[in-house]
Amino acid sequence: MTAFAARYKKIASVTALTAAIALVAFLSLRAYAQETAETTPGDLGIQISSPIYNFDIDPGSTAQEIIKIRNISSSAKTFYPEVLDFKPTGETGAPTFLKADESASYTYSLSSWIKISKEGLTLKPNESAALNFTVTVPQTAEAGGHYAGILFGTTAPATTGSGAAISNKVGSLVLVRVAGKADEAATVKEFTTPKNSYETGPIDFVVRIENSGNIHIISKGNIEIKDTFGKSVAILPVNSKNGNVLPESIRRFDNKTDSLSWNPKGFTFGRYKAELLLTYGSPAQTLSSTLSFWIVPWKQLLLIGLAIIIIILLLVLIVKRYNHYIVAKALNQNPPGSVKPPVQ
């Protein structure tokens, strides 16, 4: 074996060994990262059967349902149920859960009507359990909406008293409509685009619906976009996920939550109109609003204008050259000072 071959073999061996060590280290770090992710306090390792339960209940009546949970972690865990009232936070529909003293004065309180076992459930990995819960509406309850959440955490409810502890719980929201004459009232608080004129798409829309009634509603429909000639060019669905707007709150629908964006294809120019039409409630009521915006692709128009100017200049140059050619040809046929032959 030559010295070069021996040296090459040694380098290849060292390279292979280094790659093997790197691979083992990578796999070890990956396994450690996965294990760490599974044991993170924020990851409870629980799966809930349904995120929302909706009920229509008469005063003095009771409804019953089952909530299923499953341990999706890699170790046995004990989960404790807890029922808390909630109200919407901001305009995304995210809930804020209330403490017992806050629920006492909450108009839309529901937690005291829900009965569910408060015993902890110990589940092995991949093991499931089903809990019955009932919602009993008092005979004197007023018509309208009431809201609570059935939450599960790994600590007993008696030890939770802070917002941080509540944030480490997961569960289902319970929305109850007490039968009777409820006040369904909603308005379009905002229907806008970020700008009044665009060079090109996308054009994003913002829809904000305010619920001034006492019952949750689902307002959904479409935004229809029409061109300068009134022709429909696009339709965007609003609230395709059936998000609820709770009483005394505003729900925002935009490109982040509902894909309310229009990106026209090809050359687009002119004034456009967007018409919002939503329905909500029972019997159905409508909400509508309109807005206008311009699409002016000035860069494309500038290029087109320059092209037209160049074409015109070329035509003028061609015409001038043609005229010079005709004049020169005429002069060559009849040079200056020549005498025309007499007419016989």
* CATH code of the domain covering residue 262: 2.60.40.10
Number of domains forming the structure of the chain = 2
Longest CA span, the chain: 133
Residue 253 lies in domain: 186-298
Residue 336: the pLDDT is 62
Domain assignment of residue 117, yes or no: yes
Residue 106: the pLDDT is 93
CA distances, 107 to each of 21, 44, 61, 187 (Å): 64, 31, 20, 21
Q: What is the pLDDT of residues 2-27, one digit of tens each?
A: 443 444 444 444 444 434 433 333 33
Pairing outcome for strands 170-178 and 52-57: parallel
Residue 55: the pLDDT is 97
Q: Are residues 164 and 223 in the same domain?
A: no
Domain assignment of residue 324, yes or no: no
Residue 167: the pLDDT is 61
Nearest to residue 196, comparing CAs of 274, 299, 276, 300?
A: 274
Low-confidence ranges of the chain (pLDDT < 50): 1-42, 160-164
Tell me the DSSP string of 269-312: -EEEEEEEEEEETTTTEEEEEEEEEEE--HHHHHHHHHHHHHHH
Residues 70/123, Cβ–Cβ less than 8 Å: yes
| Residue 63: count of CB within 10 angstroms of its CB | 17
Q: Are residues 172 and 193 in the same domain?
A: no
CA distances, 67 to each of 121, 130, 158, 173, 248 (Å): 13, 6, 22, 11, 28
Q: Are residues 100 and 138 in the same domain?
A: yes
Residue 338: the pLDDT is 58
Domain assignment of residue 75, yes or no: yes
